[in-house]
Amino acid sequence: MSQQGYVAAPPYSQAQPGIGGYQGGFGAGPAQPLYGHYGGPPQAFAAPPAGMMKSPVSSAAGMPPPPASNQYNPNVQQNGAHPQRYPAPPAASAYGQPLQSPYNSMASMAPPPAQQLTNQMSSMNLGNYAPGPMQSPPPPTSSVAQQPFQTSLPPGMGQPQMPPGPQSPHMSPQMSPPQSPLASMPMAGPPMAGQQMAGPPMAGMGRPFPGPPPSGPGAFQQPGPGAFQQPGPEAFQQPGPGAFQQPGPGAFQQPGPGAFQQPGPGAFQQPGPGAFQQPGPGAFQQPGPGAAGPPGYPQQAGQFGGLMTGPQPGMPGGFPGAPGGLAGPPQKKLDPDSIPSITQVIEDDQVKRGGQVYSTNIRGQVPPLVTTDFTVQDQGNASPRFMRCTTYSLPCTADLAKQCQVPLACVVKPFANLPKNETPLYVVNHGETGPIRCNRCKAYMCPYMQFIDGGRRYQCGFCNCVNEVPVFYFQHLDHMGRRVDFYERPELSLGSYEFVATLDYCKNNKPPNPPAYIFMIDVSYNNIKSGLVKLICDELKTLLENLPSEEGMECSAIKVGFVTYNKVLHFYNVKSALAQPQMMVVSDTAEMFVPLLDGFLVNYQDSRAVIYNLLDQIPDMFADTNESETVFVPVIQAGVEAFKAAECSGKLFIFQSSMPTAEAPGKLKNRDDKKLVNTDKEKTLFQPQKGVYEQLSKECVAQGCCVDLFLFPSQYMDIATMADVPSHTGGSVYKYNNFQVEIDGEHFLRDLRKDVQKSIGFDAIMRVRTSTGFRATEFFGAVHMNNTTDIEMAAVDCDKALTVEFKHDDTLSEETGALMQCALLYTTINGQRRLRVHNLSLNCSLQLSELYKSCETDSLINFFAKSACRAMLNQPLKSVREILVNQTAHMLACYRKNCASPSAASQLILPDAMKVFPVYMNSLMKTAPMVGSTELSTDDRAHQRLLIMGMGVEDTRLLLYPRLTPLHNMDVGTETVPAPVRCSEERLTDAGMFLLENGHSMFLWLGQAIPPDLIQSIFNLPSLAHLQGHVCALPELDNPLSKKVRSIINGLIEERPNSMKLHIVRQKDKPEMVFRQFLVEDKGLHGGASYMDFLCYVHREIRQLLT
């Protein structure tokens, strides 16, 4: 197919090409729901429940209809699940109509009116991933109409009824996926009344969308003539044998020739030419070449397809598709299995590429997903663990880039941890002369340099300058023109390596000293009373034994120092010669200085006895304090001064529990104002206070002083300002609200241990060079930029990633491709100056289809998350969300227009590599920073915004799509972890136990009907009712289930950059609300559309762009 788009295919359709799948035809498909195309071919379609459909055809629930039938019966919508829909009321306007409420009009985004949705959906066919035609629904006779997105609520429901309209009856059906069984489940919750489908999309949705009032009672009435009406016999019902009936002419397309359906024998009828192609007789039709999407929903017919009518006032469902209750039998909802699923995409990639060796010798090859378990063999391009791009095939011209609007960016994680089975980076030492570089562009020697003239000269791959090869570096070329020592030199044959830097690369041309760590503890009343100070002092005794050290070193070269503070600072002399530590107090916080040089920063091994003594004394020394005010900026200034005096770089670990209110530089006052939320001034809540904080960041970066902040707030702290220094120095911010030692202590200590022990480089400066034709223009990360090219980081650790955006400044060539080199100069924990170089080569193409084929959704969403988090400092959130939706629609519309094979406008066709992009994008718009909700604390929102800025691809992916794993039915005899399920309430079961984690929060959810023996095995309690609140760890019990559950939880905590506190939530308990906001495919608690509604909305936007 041309690219694989997803088209929605009709359910039974055969597998589309390119999609692996099960057998085509109607055979039964796999049982589980698959995404059609995702998984493969569609499932068999189950029939709707009996009784529902008219068509004789399938009655049984799971059977596919007999082949004879028409393509599909309309009623049965693909999924069978919804059988006939009634026609929906007329929409107010057809699909295309403008939204009445634009997505964002509400504070949150509101979705389009229902009708559009539906119809969109229907038209979308979302499901449609496959190309089948949609049929129109059967006549309303059946009672059930399932309208998927329901169109309106029944009259009694509070919404007025709407007159019927052109909707298509089945509108939604198409949505449904092939699977039927599920289909019948309500989406969530009872279908009836007011349920919203998925709820309004963003907050604020409650408001109705305009729509015509419904008409009579049934509301769903059949539309009028133009509607689906069933024009003639063939109309709705298709006469064919049990076919699914075909809608009438105007309806969903009439079967007429180009229509969607032609009733042919069992085919799915063929849509118009080019459209989905018509399948053979029994087939479901295979989509056209590019079209194919997975099979999935049938397509809806165009606008008239079902339109949704707008919700009526008061409609609960506010979002368009809200399901309202229909009058009549309960309605079913759209089948969510028919739309692309992230868990399925992850599983498919693991099956296809897991356990394999990924060799980096091919330019522009797309690596396995970050979630896939694979081994990298460096053969000339950097490992995807260090660099991942949004697309591996850049458009050759700026015009093409502008046309598709796919951002061209690379996410660089220069210090990424490598698994034990991959070779660490080689260190190249050229002695006094230092690394070999191009004379013109200063790029470092790498595999993209072409040796010529018998090996005496080389041409730079970045700027094409011809350079002389230094005498000591000369080597003959072989018959291929390659140097004879090619494989002996990492810089010629590998994508990533390090050079030992010479004194020219050091400050003041002298070798650096090893870095130092200073622990700065807030000893104000709150921290003493909570037991935090004692907890930190006890932990440091063992933690300091594990300071990071270079491989092969007996002990760490890092020096340590200690400061305690409240309104004044206390420095400690812990020189090894002393019997007792000595304290020196600095009370003049306006002019900060370090009162002692010798004895403040010491080697832990030498001064261990004195340090132990100090750590025992600190909690007692301040036990009777009643000082509750603290300073903050002077604490960081003291650290910078200490590093200056010692001529070293390093890191400050600051433990602070309140906003700095004491008279001193950097004093803050409470500026939290919930009235600003959802106004144009909301951005000020996230902007740091300028002045002393901005200056302090610059001083820290200049000295190589990284700041890590551990916050223990009980109220507002102005994290936007306090975390400004860490966020510009490569530091991290950890936050423990309402800290209690017994509940949060272990969580905090795990974070502290990870933070102290992780691999890190100091006093770093990075530059990204590119070959001619494009260049790096924007940089997003926990970094400081003094100019437009040098990225300065006081420190960079294994979890920090920088996202770099590229723009064209000329035309790129398909032959030479595009090259980039990321060079990082830093000081090791031993005090050695090194250069770490990562090289990557990409393809260039004049065909947009190549760009879309080699996109990587996970990197794209990392870029969008960071750019949105930066944009919210300068623009209203509403504008930021609009830009995100518009760009999503533009990217997908460009694909549809230029790369997909022709098909009905009603189909939503997504590029295979981006089919789950809408899920992530919708989730991004529901994250705390992006949702204007007064229920979320400003500090939590500011904290998450800063976290996102430093995240790598795997971290943003997990944050935006948490991992939900069922633990109640796993095989305890094996090591394997159960496969995750989709992040939706529908996947939870009353008798189940599920683990949800997103890298920062972790929940163990217990269904209300969970068997007592499970509770006994895990908690050693007779039943769920005996479980008390605030259990934050599972008891260590000696049974296989308990051991396996604990090993899964501990494994995840170990694997993620941050530790996570385990929250145990019971179904229907109040704390469950917190858990539900992580079910990102559902409607957001604080506003935000469900995935299904968002997809419809985006589809509507795409159609508007295309028309």
Widest CA span of the chain, in angstroms? 102
Tokens of 498: 């390090």
Task: Give pLDDT, residue 242.
Answer: 36
Alpha-carbon distance 1075 to 1094, whole Å?
A: 21
Q: Is the pLDDT of residue 14 over 80?
A: no
Q: Amino acid identity of 303?
A: Q
**In sequence order, what are the residues at sequence separation of 6 or more whose Cβ sits closer than 8 angstroms to the Cβ of residue 102?**
109, 110, 112
Q: Is the pLDDT of residue 229 over 50?
A: no
**Alpha-carbon dihedral of residues 922, 928, 930, 935, nearest 10 degrees?**
110
Task: Give pLDDT, residue 552.
Answer: 78
Q: Residue 500 belongs to what H/E stretch? A: strand 496-500
Confidence of residue 782 (pLDDT cuts 50, 70, 90): confident
Tokens of 1092: 């299904």
Condensed to tens digits (0 to 9), the pLDDT of residues 786-830 reads 888 999 999 999 999 999 999 999 999 999 999 999 999 999 999
Confidence of residue 287 (pLDDT cuts 50, 70, 90): very low
Alpha-carbon distance 238 to 236, whole Å?
A: 6
First to last CA, the chain: 24
Q: Count H helices and E strands in the chain, helices first.
A: 24, 31
Condensed to tens digits (0 to 9), the pLDDT of residues 511-531 reads 999 999 999 999 999 999 999
Tokens of 516: 């130092």
Strand partners for 1098: none
Q: Which of 173-182, 377-386, 533-542, 843-852 shows the lowest mean pLDDT across its residues? A: 173-182
Alpha-carbon distance 589 to 192, whole Å?
A: 65
Condensed to tens digits (0 to 9), the pLDDT of residues 1005-1040 reads 999 999 999 999 999 999 888 888 777 789 999 999
**164 closest CA partner among 113, 115, 100:** 115
Alpha-carbon distance 942 to 506, whole Å?
A: 36
Percentage of residues in the chain with pLDDT exceeding 90? 63
Q: Is the pLDDT of residue 174 over 60?
A: no
Q: Is the pLDDT of residue 50 over 60?
A: no
Condensed to tens digits (0 to 9), the pLDDT of residues 550-584 reads 887 888 999 999 999 999 999 999 999 999 999 99
Confidence of residue 333 (pLDDT cuts 50, 70, 90): low
Strand partners for 565: 522, 569
Alpha-carbon distance 465 to 463, whole Å?
A: 6
Percentage of residues in the chain with pLDDT exceeding 70? 70
Q: Is the pLDDT of residue 291 over 90?
A: no
Alpha-carbon distance 202 to 741, whole Å?
A: 37
**196 closest CA partner among 327, 91, 321, 104:** 321
Confidence of residue 227 (pLDDT cuts 50, 70, 90): very low
Task: Give pLDDT, residue 417.
Answer: 95
Cβ density class 1023-1041: b for 16+ within 10 Å, e for less: ebeeeeeeeeebeebeeeb
Condensed to tens digits (0 to 9), the pLDDT of residues 985-1007 reads 999 999 999 999 999 999 999 99
Condensed to tens digits (0 to 9), the pLDDT of residues 633-684 reads 999 999 999 999 999 999 999 999 999 999 999 999 999 999 999 999 999 9
171-200 average pLDDT score: 36
DSSP 444: B
Strand partners for 452: 457
SS3 category, 695? helix
Alpha-carbon distance 880 to 98, whole Å?
A: 20
Alpha-carbon distance 204 to 363, whole Å?
A: 48
pTM of the predicted structure, to 2 decimals: 0.74
**In sequence order, what are the residues at sequence separation of 6 or more whose Cβ sits closer than 8 angstroms to the Cβ of residue 971?**
none
**447 closest CA partner among 475, 416, 483, 499:** 483
Q: Is the pLDDT of residue 241 over 90?
A: no
Strand partners for 997: 963, 1002
Alpha-carbon distance 1065 to 1050, whole Å?
A: 18
Condensed to tens digits (0 to 9), the pLDDT of residues 914-941 reads 999 999 999 999 999 999 888 899 999 9
Q: Amino acid identity of 658?
A: S
686 within 8 A of 874, measured Cβ to Cβ = no
393-395 and 833-845 strand pairing: parallel
Average pLDDT, the chain: 77
Total number of residues shown for the chain? 1107
> How many CB atoms are closer than 10 A to CB 32?
12
Kindly tell me the burial class for residue 832, based on how many C-beta atoms sit within 10 Å of its own C-beta (0-12, 13-18, 19 or more): middle
User: H-type helices in 218-281, by residue range?
Assistant: none
223-241 average pLDDT score: 35
689-716 average pLDDT score: 95
Q: What Cα–Cα distance (Å) separates residue 137 from each residue in 212, 230, 302, 435, 506?
A: 21, 9, 13, 71, 74
Positions of E strands within 525-677: 559-565, 569-573, 582-586, 602-603, 650-656
Q: Is the pLDDT of residue 167 over 50?
A: no
Q: Is the pLDDT of residue 161 over 70?
A: no
Q: Which of 866-880, 916-930, 963-977 shows the lowest mean pLDDT across its residues? A: 963-977
Cβ density class 782-812: b for 16+ within 10 Å, e for less: bbbeeeeeebbbbbbbbbbbbbbbbebeebb
903 within 8 A of 276, measured Cβ to Cβ = yes
